[in-house]
Amino acid sequence: MGAERALLVGVVAPEGEADAEGSIAELGRLAESAGAEVVGVSLQARKAPDPATYIGSGKVRDLKELAAERGAGLVVFDDELRPGQQRNLEEALELKVLDRTQLILDVFASRAATKEGRLQVELAQLSYLLPRLVGFGKTLSRLGGGIGTRGPGESKLEADRRRLRDRIALLKAEIDDVARTRALQRERRRRRRAQVASLAGYTNAGKSSLFNALTAAEVYVEDRLFATLDPTVRALPGQGASAGDLLLVDTVGFVRKLPHALVAAFRATLEEVAEADLVLRVVDCGDAGWPGQLASVDEVLAEVYRMFLAERPEPEAWLVFNKTDLLGPSALKALKEAHPGAHFVSAKGGQGLEALRKALKTRLESGRGTEHYLVPHSALGQLSRHFSRLRVKEQRWTAEGLRLEAFVGEGVEALEPYRLKKSKGVKQ
């Protein structure tokens, strides 16, 4: 079976033409990621979408002719359609109609490789479907498969509201279990004063490549949208005995108009960003549209922070420009002058990685804080096995025993009886 031939449709506000072109180009990449072949684009300038058909009856006729001319069997709209709009469009066009939300959910469904990822994607899809069960047109009777039908499966799409709500409740319960497990993991990190930096950025900005370069991990990397859905945690290398106390987290990428249902369903994953001590906002500076992409990332981060940080401050954030190898010397110089506080790296070429790694360690270690200990000579033998796990900042021998200044973290619990009362405070 060949790729589905798709037409892309967008409504352009008079003042937002440039942004609309970027958004429709991204919609094309999403469609291609879902396995479609884009055979045409239709942009319509109007102040507001038509309440009945989104694009108006005249444009619907034009679109039907264009679809017949191009042999398209699928029409994808660059905004979320109302159920009535989608029904009217499918009846008028006699074609399968998807909106941007359905397409993104479909791409996520095709990428979900773990149980956690599949649970979260299915919850997002069913949450999107539930209010659309009445008057959803031909969508509920599709038996041919293809884009927009992956994930929950046809039997679930034809389920009534009660069965759908029961399934959603079950999925939420299972995801709550995942969230509790992640919360326990974070609590263990907090107890040992582990410091966490989380990567956040636009999909395909090179986050996973940067993650691999910084941690020597082997996270799956591919030049496609949403190659990574599940969070991965690794220790920054070169920490000596305290490996595991300075951690880096790779998370799912963002796009324009990321569906709210998806943000809500992926809360167990996105909470890793909110709970981090430091967030690295990764930008693909080789993409001319990076300012808009960064704005979209910041919008999603703001929503994530609203969900999880009601009573706590937002984590510190750094701006990291990746793929600097794609810029010429003058362009890179201008970017650095415009963003003097940012970091500039190439995960592929290696430029700037060591400087970023050192800056991360300095920042994260300062967040852990230190404690001072005086271990008497008589206790050194029984505590020697714990010393190998310490991250020692400074030590010296005295007549009373060994004086240590150690970063708070793994191994220090054994030294608690010998902690000096006068010590540097630990950042809470």
Mean pLDDT over residues 251-256, rounded?
Answer: 80
Start-end of H helices in 112-224? 115-129, 154-157, 161-191, 207-215
Torsion-angle region of residue 35: left (phi > 0), alpha (psi -120 to 50) or beta? left
Q: Please measure the distance between the N-terminal and C-terminal CA atoms of the chain and give it in whole angstroms.
A: 58
Encode pLDDT of 126-142 as tens digits: 888 887 765 444 444 44
Encode pLDDT of 371-415 as tens digits: 788 888 888 877 776 666 666 777 888 988 888 877 665 566 777
Output the CA torsion sign for 322, 324, 327, 329: positive
Percent of the chain with pLDDT over 70: 79
Encode pLDDT of 48-89 as tens digits: 889 999 999 999 999 999 999 999 999 999 999 988 899 899
Domains and CATH numbers, the chain: 5-157 (3.40.50.11060), 193-366 (3.40.50.300), 369-418 (no CATH)
Neighbours of 342 (CB within 10 A): 16
* Strand-pair category, 232-235 with 246-250: antiparallel
Q: What's this model's pTM, rounded to 2 decimal places?
A: 0.71
Picking from 186, 244, 250, the residue whose alpha carbon sits closest to that of residue 212 is 250
Q: Is the pLDDT of residue 42 over 50?
A: yes
Task: Kindly state the greatest CA–CA separation across the chain.
Answer: 93
- In 295-305, which positions are buried (b, 16+ CB within 10 angstroms) versus exposed (e)? ebbeebbeebb
Picking from 349, 99, 305, the residue whose alpha carbon sits closest to that of residue 200 is 305
Encode pLDDT of 217-253 as tens digits: 665 555 445 555 667 888 887 654 344 578 888 887 8
pLDDT for 318 equals 95
